[in-house]
Structures are given as C-alpha cells and as structure tokens.
C-alpha cells in the first residue's frame, strides 16, 4: 500500500447532491487535503433503473459550487462491469466463490422458513459444495462468495472503533447476478482496490456492508482500506434527516442564500469539532481536520445555527469578495433575476458602497437582496406597511425641514455632512434624532430598517435622495 492517502466520494446518481452526501464529500476532501493526498470521484450508477444523467450533472454541479474538487475524471461504476465480472470469475477459479442455481421459489422458501423461526433470512449454502455439473440444463447461475462460517469478521473503524461481526450472520452473498451484472457490494470492493483507495470515509449506514466487503478483500488477498463510518445527520427533533428537516439538495441552499464556505463550515461541525472554534475558514478546516476526531453520535441539523454561521462569514468577508459572490448568485435567489436585470455601472458602484452597512444586518444573500432593494427601486418608491406607519402627518412636517436642510448641502454630500444637517433639524424642532431619522429612512428606502440612514443618503447621492424625500412630502 502506498503512503499517499487516496479517498473517494461515491454518490449514487438517483437525485441531487443532498446535504448528508455533501458532508461525506467534505470529510473525504478535508482528509485528503489535510494529508496532501487525493480525492477521487466515482459515480455508482450500476442501478440503471434509478440512475440518470441529470442527477449526475446535479451532483457535479453541487460539488463544484461547494468548491469540493476531485482529482482526475469521475469514474462510472457501470462502465467497469466487465472488470467486476472478471474478478467474480477469478474467485470461482480460486475456489473462493461458486455458482449457485437456487430458483426464486427455493430462495423464497428459505426466507419463509427463516421468518417462521423469527430469524433473519439467510441463504442456506445448498450449492456451496455441489458440483456445477448438477446444474439444471440451460440455467444461468449467480456467483456467491464463500463467506467464512466460523469465528468473526472484524472491522477496524477509525470512528466506530473495533466492530465485530459473527461470521454465521454473513451468509454466502451474491457478487454476480445470474444476468451477469455485479452486485453493488462486489463492485465497490473491486473499484476501491483498482482505484488505489486507501481510506474509505462514508455514512455509518454502510457499517454492515464493511464486514461483507472485508470478506471479498480477504478472498482476493487484497489490503483492506482504512475504514471510517461517520454518523448520519438527524433533524433537530432527533429523527433521521428528511426533506422536512432540510435534507434538500445543495442547490436549494444556494437558492436560500447561503455561502459555500459557510455551508462547509457548518457541515464540518456536524459531527466534528476543533476546540471551541465556531467560525472556520477552508484553510482552518484543512489544517485542523482529522477523521479520528469525528464523533460516533449522530449530529443534529439546525437551520438557526447555519444562518448564524452564514452571517458571520458574510461579515468576515471583504466587500469586494462578497460583492462578486452576491452578483454571481443573483440568478438563483428569489428576487435576484429582477435585480440582476437592472444592474448597471452606477448601481453596482452604489451596491459596493452600501455593502458594509448591508452585510451587518443580513444573515443570508436573500436578506442582502431584500436590504439592497432600495438601491434598485424606481420612484415613486413602494412603501411597506411598517414604513407607511412612520410617514404620518407629523412626520411629513419634519421631512419638509429635513429636505430643506439637505438641499442646502450643495458642495459636500457625505454621510458626515448629512448627519450634521439632520442633527440641527432635530435640535431646532425639539425632536429626538430618531424622530427625524425614522421617517427619513422610510422615505429613502420604503422600509423601516436599512443600513444607517446617513450612509443611505451618501450612497443614493444628492439628486436621488432629495427626489425620494420630495415624493413623500408632496
């Protein structure tokens, strides 16, 4: 076995890249990066009924959006079927596997007999030592592995510890079906061996498969890769993650306005942690991650936590970087395409200038769309219900004074100059600053919340600001 770590992510293309799969890919990727190894990608498309090219494309798209790059070309498991057959036939030649000609009716009878005794269904080994010449004429047999019948198979797992399986429970499972197609159990072992995989990191729902797969490795005399079975993600209520909990494809998280880096940070912390570190960069995760530190217990998915981490990443990011991600994500966000259609050099510059104030209040890119909407609004502004309450008759009188004071700022239109002028209006009228600032914000943005109102004045510029205030006075 080489010293270089080779991990693999091996999704089935039956749907999108869901959040559990994304975390498995992340752990494989982080471990490969941490050890200066490589991560390979294999599409487990042997189930022809359920596999489809659109799903494969969605998985590749999801990984790419997250920045989880793989080495080399993705491998199709289905295309490797001739090699899987070759290994199954080799095991027969070596006396480690055999052709079984049990009929569907015989197999059903075995299942019934086991059920009647309250036992799990097991194949009874009736063809294990029979001569193939006894096979019914023209029957195509399935190939079964000769599983050990005594003792136990031990899986040395870096997350679960040492897991022991009594061999009497393993039975002689099928590795090649009678139609010549390999089973998933067999294909995985041959592919992992041929691809040089040294470390298998996958969900703990595969733990019992690990014992059966070890039987195939041993029969071929191949090294068993290091195994790590990570706990599944549960919903906030402790039940297995489902659609209602957030078991959505990663493209849904993009549409909800989460940053790839924040989603990876959140997923990394589902089942793995590094001291009290909450917010981590990709670089931090790579340098700190070790598969041996993953917890055995299931992690719970929590949207509020994800949102808080996302907000922290948005605030930590430089304005220029956040601006680029925001513009690039607009097509996927609710209300985003309309905003993207109205982008021009002038409002792009305004958006960049407004970002420091906008990102303080937003936890997702959707909230950023909402917060930035005032920059793209056409006059007269639509006024939301809360803002309308701030624009009563008294407020309009105050706005007249504010308009007059701001109109006098001919030469220096800055946030500081605007603030000084508005403070004077408040003092002169015997008002608190808020009594002037709140209706001013409503007039300028159509909302009751926004970045600092003086920053809003500076970003919108003199002409647009005065026109928006005038619309509410007249």
Is cis: bond before 380, omega within 30 of 0?
yes
State how far the alpha carbon of 450 is from the alpha carbons of 51, 214, 299, 354, in Å: 47, 60, 36, 10
**CB neighbour list of residue 222: distance below 8 Å, 6 or more residues apart:** 189, 193
Whether the Cβ atoms of residue 409 and residue 458 lie closer than 8 Å to each other: no
Active site annotation includes 168? no
User: What dihedral angle (degrees, nearest 10) is formed by the CA atoms of 123, 129, 134, 138?
Assistant: 50
> Which one of the listed residues 243, 363, 432, 447 is annotated catalytic?
243
Instruction: Give the DSSP H or E segment for 180.
Output: none
Whether the Cβ atoms of residue 371 and residue 333 lie closer than 8 Å to each other: no
| Displacement of CA 61 from its chain's centroid (Å) | 11
Give the sign of the dihedral formed by CA 206, CA 212, CA 213, CA 214.
Answer: positive
User: What dihedral angle (degrees, nearest 10) is formed by the CA atoms of 236, 238, 240, 243?
Assistant: -30
Short-list 68, 65, 43, 69, CA closest to 54: 43
Give the side-chain half-sphere CA count within 13 A for 472. Answer: 33
**CB neighbour list of residue 458: distance below 8 Å, 6 or more residues apart:** 353, 413, 414, 415, 418
* Residue numbers annotated as active site: 243
């Amino acid at each position: 076995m080489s010293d270089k770590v080779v991990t693999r992510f091996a999704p089935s293309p039956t749907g999108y890249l869901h959040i559990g799969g994304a975390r498995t890919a992340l752990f494989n990727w982080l471990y490969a990066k941490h050890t200066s190894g490589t991560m390979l990608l294999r599409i487990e498309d042997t189930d022809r009924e359920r596999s489809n090219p659109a799903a494969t494309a969605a998985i590749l798209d999801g990984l790419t959006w997250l920045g989880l790059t793989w080495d080399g070309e993705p491998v199709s498991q289905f295309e490797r079927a001739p090699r899987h057959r070759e290994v199954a036939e080799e095991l027969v030649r070596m006396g480690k596997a055999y052709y079984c000609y049990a009929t569907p009716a015989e197999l059903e009878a075995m299942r019934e007999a086991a059920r009647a005794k309250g036992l799990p269904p097991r194949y009874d080994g009736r063809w294990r030592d029979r001569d193939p010449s006894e096979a019914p004429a023209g029957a195509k047999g399935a190939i079964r592995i000769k599983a050990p019948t005594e003792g136990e198979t031990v899986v040395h797992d870096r997350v679960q510890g040492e897991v022991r399986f009594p061999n009497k429970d393993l039975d002689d499972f099928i590795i090649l079906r009678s139609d010549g197609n390999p089973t998933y159990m067999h294909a995985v072992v041959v592919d992992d061996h041929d691809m040089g995989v040294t470390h298998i990191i996958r969900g703990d729902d595969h733990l019992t498969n690990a014992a059966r797969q070890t039987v195939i490795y041993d029969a071929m005399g191949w090294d068993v890769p290091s195994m790590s079975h990570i706990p599944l993600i549960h919903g906030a209520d402790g039940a297995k993650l489902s659609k209602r909990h957030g078991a959505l494809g990663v493209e849904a998280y993009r549409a909800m306005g989460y940053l790839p880096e924040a989603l990876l940070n959140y997923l990394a912390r589902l089942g793995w942690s590094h001291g009290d570190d909450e917010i981590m960069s990709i670089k931090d995760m790579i340098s700190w991650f070790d598969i041996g530190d993953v917890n055995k217990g299931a992690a719970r998915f929590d949207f509020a936590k994800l949102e808080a981490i996302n907000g922290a990443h948005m605030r930590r990011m430089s304005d220029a970087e956040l601006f680029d991600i925001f513009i690039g994500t607009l097509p996927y966000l609710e209300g985003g395409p309309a905003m993207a259609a109205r982008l021009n050099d002038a409002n792009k510059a305004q958006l960049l200038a407004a970002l420091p104030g906008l990102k303080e209040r937003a936890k997702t890119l959707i909230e950023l769309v909402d917060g930035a909407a005032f920059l793209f609004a056409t006059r007269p502004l639509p006024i939301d219900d809360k803002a309308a309450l701030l624009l009563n008759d008294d407020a309009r009188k105050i706005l007249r004074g504010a308009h007059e004071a701001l109109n006098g700022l001919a030469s220096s239109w800055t946030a500081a100059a605007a603030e000084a002028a508005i403070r004077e209006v408040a003092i002169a009228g015997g008002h608190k600053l808020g009594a002037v600032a709140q209706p001013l914000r409503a007039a300028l943005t159509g909302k009751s919340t926004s970045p600092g109102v003086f920053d809003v004045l500076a970003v919108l510029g003199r002409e647009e600001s005065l026109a928006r205030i005038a619309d509410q006075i007249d």
